[in-house]
Amino acid sequence: SVYQPLDLHPREVGVKNYEIPFHLTKRSGQGRVGPETLRKPQGDRPMAAAAALSDLPAYTEEHELFRSTVRKFIAAEVAPHHLFLNTEAYERWGTKVQVNPPLRDVSDQEALWKALNEGVIDFVGTDHAPHLLEEKAQPYGGAPSGIPSIELLLPLLLDAVDKKQLTLSTLVKITRRNIEKIFRLPNNDDVVLVDLNAIHVVNDEELKTKCRWSPYKGRTLKGWPLCTIIAGKLWFSKRYDRCWQEK
């Protein structure tokens, strides 16, 4: 049978024509959905959906159910801010790090890294939301959710490789190979060349995003992209002398 993968937000209660409530992430006091509500689609047609695990508690029956049952027909995504930020970031950044699902504590963060390395989480999605600082400076309830994430995704993950939080092969899977498989994308020769030994401090003034800020400002990261080659053409170069020449 032919099916089209769906990309769904984890806080959707359900999807029309599919018996799958995705609201797995409600916590106590918010009416958390129990595992008895998780059901496969009617019929035998498989379904591929990207449901972020960022909001799942570290140790819950829902999490284990996802691993053992739901995992068979749902692909999982995690956002970088849930891997690299936690509730401690609120003290410094306030509503600037207001995201949806919200940042969680260290134990949840560790559970996400564990799931990523065990292959329970299939890929990383940036959830890029380049809101301006004046927008994010509004009080809670008025500030928009989301943070800029695109251009620092790879440096953050490369730094995690250096810190032994994941392997380089896993990085390739969660940023490319698994995505190609899940969304049935054709293979191509597009590549990003990186310098695993490059060390650089994140600086807002050097960012390409038009909002020109990042909650990772001041972090020293080891491992940075050198250049991006798409269809044999050089589209970005940090150090042209160390990249392939454009054909």
Determine which helix (DSSP H) or strand (DSSP E) holds 194, and give its type and residue range. Answer: strand 191-201
Radius of gyration of the chain, Cα coordinates, nearest whole angstrom: 19
Strands, DSSP E only, in the chain? 6-8, 49-52, 75-78, 123-124, 191-201, 220-230, 233-237
Residue 219 in 3-state DSSP? coil
| Tally of CB atoms within 10 A around 241 | 7
Active site residue 127: yes
CA proximity to 126, closest of 149, 157, 146? 149
For 186, the token pair is: 């054709």
What is the rounded distance in angstroms from the CA atom of residue 199 to the CA atom of residue 60? 38
Residue with tokens 């595992």: 35
Selected catalytic residue, list 55, 108, 122, 127? 127
Catalytic residues: 127
